[in-house]
Structure formats: structure tokens, C-alpha cells
């Protein structure tokens, strides 16, 4: 089902979204812009009727355009989750680098703990086998 909204309502929504996200995006990267939905997008990399994030570089033709969509390709507005995802993708930021280093350190520590648990389990299993082999018992049925 499709609902047609008046142009002035659409303009207000676009202005509100750009007021909210424009300064935050520019603080992250001065070349980053929120592009409103178009029925006929002006760029071939853009999807119709979807919001986009665009980073316009100094070199013409090297812009990066990211559609803001749901996992199944549906309509989605810019939100905190998308903004946090952008911050994580920022490879030039010291914050992003330290987060990646911290995550890598946690992964290494988890792998080390898993190895130690496996070793302890193997030692326990071997100890049980040795104890079982030393405790040989023969069960003789009654009445024999």
C-alpha cells in the first residue's frame, strides 16, 4: 500500500532530518552529507525513494554513496544505529583504531582462555582414563 503525502509535509521531514543529522555528519567528516529520497535519483548509484549518505571527494567521480535501507532493502530513515555504524567504519579516526585494537585484544584473550579450557578438559579426561585403568575390578555374579 502506498500513501501520497503533500509536498510541504515531505519538505518539512527532509528539513528536519537534515537539521538533525547534518551537523553530526559534518563533525564526523566535513565531506559527508545526508541526501533525501528522490523518485528519480540524480546519480546512478542511488536507489529511488531511499535516503543516502554521500561523501563527495575532491576528485570528481570518486564519491561514495551509501543507501540507508533495511536488511531486506526497504525504506529506512537515518538513525543512531546507522550513525554508530558510520563511526565504526571511520578508519582514519583514532577512536576507531583504538576500538579495533581493544576488540582484537579481547578476541585474542578469549581464544587463549578457550585453549586453556580445552587443555584442562583433556588433562581431566586423561586422568580419568588412567584412574579407571588402575582401578580394575571384576564383578562376579552371585551364585557362581
User: Are 51 and 106 members of one domain?
Assistant: no
Question: Looking at the domain assignment, is residue 1 inside a domain?
Answer: no
Question: Looking at the domain assignment, is residue 71 inside a domain?
Answer: yes
User: Are 86 and 102 members of one domain?
Assistant: no
Question: Looking at the domain assignment, is residue 44 inside a domain?
Answer: yes
Q: Could you list the residue range(s) of the whole structural domain that residue 142 is in?
A: 94-144
Q: Say what the pLDDT of residue 89 is.
A: 74
pLDDT single digits (tens) 22-64: 888 888 888 888 888 888 887 888 888 888 888 877 777 778 8
Q: Work out how many domains the chain is built from and give that number.
A: 2
C-alpha cell recorded at residue 142: 552371585
User: Are 72 and 27 members of one domain?
Assistant: yes
Question: Looking at the domain assignment, is residue 2 inside a domain?
Answer: no
Average pLDDT over residues 111-128: 90
User: Are 17 and 66 members of one domain?
Assistant: yes
User: Are 131 and 103 members of one domain?
Assistant: yes
Q: Say what the pLDDT of residue 101 is.
A: 76
Residue 90 pLDDT level (bands cut at 50, 70, 90): low
The whole-model pTM stands at: 0.53
pLDDT single digits (tens) 1-30: 666 778 887 788 888 888 888 888 888 888
DSSP 40-106: S-SSTTSPTT-EEEEE--SSTT--EEEEEB-TTS-B----HHHHHHHHHH-TT-HHHHHHHHHHHHH
Question: Looking at the domain assignment, is residue 57 inside a domain?
Answer: yes
Amino acid at each position: 500500500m502506498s500513501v501520497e503525502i503533500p509536498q510541504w509535509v515531505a519538505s518539512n521531514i527532509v528539513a528536519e532530518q537534515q537539521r538533525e543529522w547534518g551537523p553530526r555528519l559534518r563533525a564526523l567528516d566535513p565531506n559527508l552529507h545526508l541526501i533525501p529520497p528522490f523518485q528519480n535519483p540524480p546519480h546512478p548509484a542511488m536507489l529511488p525513494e531511499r535516503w543516502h549518505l554521500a561523501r563527495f571527494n575532491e576528485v570528481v567521480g570518486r564519491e561514495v554513496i551509501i543507501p540507508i535501507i533495511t536488511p531486506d532493502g526497504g525504506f529506512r530513515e537515518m538513525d543512531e544505529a546507522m550513525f554508530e555504524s558510520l563511526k565504526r567504519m571511520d578508519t582514519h579516526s583514532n577512536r576507531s583504531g583504538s576500538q579495533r585494537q581493544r576488540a582484537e585484544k579481547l578476541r585474542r584473550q578469549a581464544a587463549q582462555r578457550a585453549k586453556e579450557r580445552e587443555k584442562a578438559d583433556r588433562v581431566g579426561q586423561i586422568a580419568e582414563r588412567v584412574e579407571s585403568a588402575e582401578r580394575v575390578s571384576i564383578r562376579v555374579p552371585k551364585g557362581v
